[in-house]
Structure formats: structure tokens, C-alpha cells
Amino acid sequence: MQENIMKARKTYSRIGMSYTLMYLGYLVLLLVVMALYKVITNGEYLMGHSLNLLDMAVRFVILYPLMYLMIRKLPKFDIPKNSLGIKEILACLPITYTIMYIANLLGAYINVYVGKTTGVGGVNPIVEFVSDLSPIEQIIIVAVLAPIFEEFLFRKFIIDRVIGYGEVAAMFVSGFMFGLFHGNFIQFVYATALGMFYAFIYMRTGKLFYTIILHMFLNGFSLFVTNVMMRGVNAPELQQYLNNGDVDGYMEYFTSHVEDYAAMIVMGFFVLAIVITGIVLMIVNRNKFVFESYAEEVEKDLRFRTVALNPGMLFFIIFFAITIILTQFGINWYDSLVNAIMRMI
């Protein structure tokens, strides 16, 4: 048992350390590219849409492959292969959206409450990022590439290497790391919940195809809902009214966008129907959420210490937790560092 604990600690630590160091390397690379751009263009900054596309390119082409290469030699466990039927796949679609919806509501509520306390207001960086992309870019990046890469990184690459030390721990780590990696609180809440659900599906089937399809569906459908509901509505302006508590400004905006709000209401009822269906399906299928045991599984009372209290995972948790906390206070430490260095160039 002691040997299994040491192997588990080493594996989890290697994963946490590798993912964090590679992420820091990616930030350094972005900084170098921006600095070179400023020098070449005689003082112009790389920002906005161009910077967002560069960010995504570096992530998909360099960061994510390097994260895998850093852990690929860690020993893997065999996961039995099973298939989901059409009915099971169709049931998972509303369930995955329901999990996201409920967790997102919880995260949004806490986000707004914390925003009132800090005086910064609700913080949701993903809205600004997605709204800056064209519809085609949204589909390619958000609905296709992100689900593929993220499922490999936070489901297959992690779970294949830790499932033998305990399925519950593997599921929680897969979801928790996935949530923290997003770097902001509102995404952390629903990404963690979804990550655990996808981890369970992967552990029961051993096939990443299912979680990729569910992830693509969720991101694609969320884009569709957002675009329909926010069609003709300036999301940042509307968010500003809400954050500032400007009721008069909000009502004036509402009266000048009645048709757009009508579309929002119709879509809202459609989303509500999906959520109710998802809740019913989760209740009906609750007995299917059963975990398997492995010979090398770490004992329950030693699980947290083994999985979380090691150098690599502590480094990952502390780094991304601090990033999330600073974001809630309206502080982007990386942007501040970049601006300081750019002023020196």
C-alpha cells in the first residue's frame, strides 16, 4: 500500500507541476511575441482581436501538446471499453446542459455577490472574449477545437494515469483542474461540475469520443442560445447597467430592444424545457452513477493527502486559485506585468 501511495503522489505531482510550468511557459512566449511585435512595428501594441487569435494559436499549437509531452511517459492504466446506446447518448445531452446551467446560475450568483463586496461588480471575461470573435471563429475555436483539446488534456491524459489509484479521486481531480484552468470564478464553478460528469462518462466507457461530442454540443448550443438571446443586444453595455444598479438605464435599453427581448423570452422557455428534462433524466438514471474498485486504489482516509498535498498539485491549485481571486478583484496580474514590461521597451 505504501508503494501505491508513493506512486500515486508522484503521478499527481508530475501532472500538476507539468501543467502549471507549461502554462507559465506559454505566458512567457506570449509576452515575447508581443514584445517583438512592438519592436518591429515601432511601438504599436498587439491587442484586441489579433491578440485573442494569437492566444488561441499558441494554446492549440504549442501549450497543449507540450502539456501532454510532459506527462506522456507516466504509466497508464487500462480502462475497459464500453459503448453507449443512442438512448444513453440522447439522455446525456440535456443532462450535460442542465449541469452547466445550474452550476452557472450558482457561479453567477456568487460572482455578483462577491462583486458587490469588492466593488468591481460581476466578472465574466469569457463574454468579452467570445463577443470579440466572428461567428465562424466562435464555431471553430469554442465549439470544435476547445472541446477536442480540453477533453484530451483533462480527461484522457489525466484519467488514464490516475484512475487506478481511485475513480472518485480521478473524477474530482479531472473536474477540479479543468475548472481552475479557466482562471475565473464563474467558469470555474460550471467547468468543475461538467469536468466531473465527463470524467465519469470516460471512466465508464474508456472512449473519449463521447465526451468530445457532449462537450462540442454544449459549447455549440451555448453559443447558439447566447447569439439568439443576445441578438441585437449589447452584452457589455447591458452588463454595465446591471453591475452599476442603473435601473433607469436598463429600462430605457429594454424599451428600445423589445423585439430582441421577445426572442430572449422564447429561447428562455426552450432552455427551461431542456433543463427540466435534464433534471428528470438525472433522477431516473441516478443508480447508474456507480464507481469501480482497483487493486492499487489508495485508501479513502489517505486519498486527499495523497492526491492534493504534493508539490505539483499544490503548485497548480495555488497558482490558479490566486489567479481567480485576483480576477474577482478586477486584477489581471499578467496584463499588468505585460504593460509594465512594454513601457520599458
Least confident range of 159-163, 165-169, 211-215, 293-297: 293-297
Mean pLDDT of 57-66: 94
The three cell numbers of residue 285 are: 438514471
Task: Give me the chain's average pLDDT, please.
Answer: 88
What pLDDT, on a 0 to 100 scale, did the predictor assign at position 108? 85
> 316, 306, 77, 75: which is closest to 169 by C-alpha?
306
Q: Is the pLDDT of residue 228 over 90?
A: no
Rg over CA atoms, the chain: 21
**245 contacts: CB under 8 Å, gap ≥ 6:** none
Of the pLDDT bands very low, low, confident and very high (cuts 50, 70, 90), residue 237 is low
Query: According to the model, what pLDDT value does residue 338 have?
Result: 77
More confident residue, 50 or 256: 50
Residue predicted with more confidence, 315 or 110: 315
The model's confidence at residue 139, banded by pLDDT at 50, 70 and 90, is very high
212's grid cell: 468530445
Can you give the pLDDT at residue 218? 95
What phi, psi does 298 have (nearest 5°)? Answer: -75, 140
Q: What is the mean pLDDT of residues 24-44?
A: 87
Distances (CA, A) of 56 to 49, 68, 117, 139: 11, 17, 33, 13
Would you state the pLDDT for residue 245? 65
pLDDT digits (tens, 9 = 90+) for 97-135: 999 999 998 988 888 888 777 777 667 777 778 878 888
* DSSP class per residue in 74-90: S-----------HHHHH
Q: Quick one: pLDDT at residue 175?
A: 97
- Out of 47-56, 71-80, 213-222, which region has the weakest mean confidence (pLDDT)? 47-56
Q: How many angstroms separate the CA atoms of 235 and 243, rounded?
A: 12
pLDDT above 90: residue 244: no
Helix, strand, or coil here: 136?
helix
Cα–Cα distance measured from residue 272 to residue 19, given in angstroms and rounded to the nearest whole number:
37
pLDDT confidence bin for 257, thresholds 50/70/90? low
- Is 76 a residue whose pLDDT tops 90? yes
For the cut 80, the answer to whether the pLDDT of residue 246 exceeds it is: no
119: left (phi over 0), alpha (psi -120 to 50) or beta: left
Domain boundaries, the chain: 2-344
Alpha carbon distance 91, 89 (integer Å): 5
The closest of 334, 333, 330 to 121, measured between CA atoms, is: 330
pLDDT in tens, 192-214: 999 999 999 999 999 999 999 99
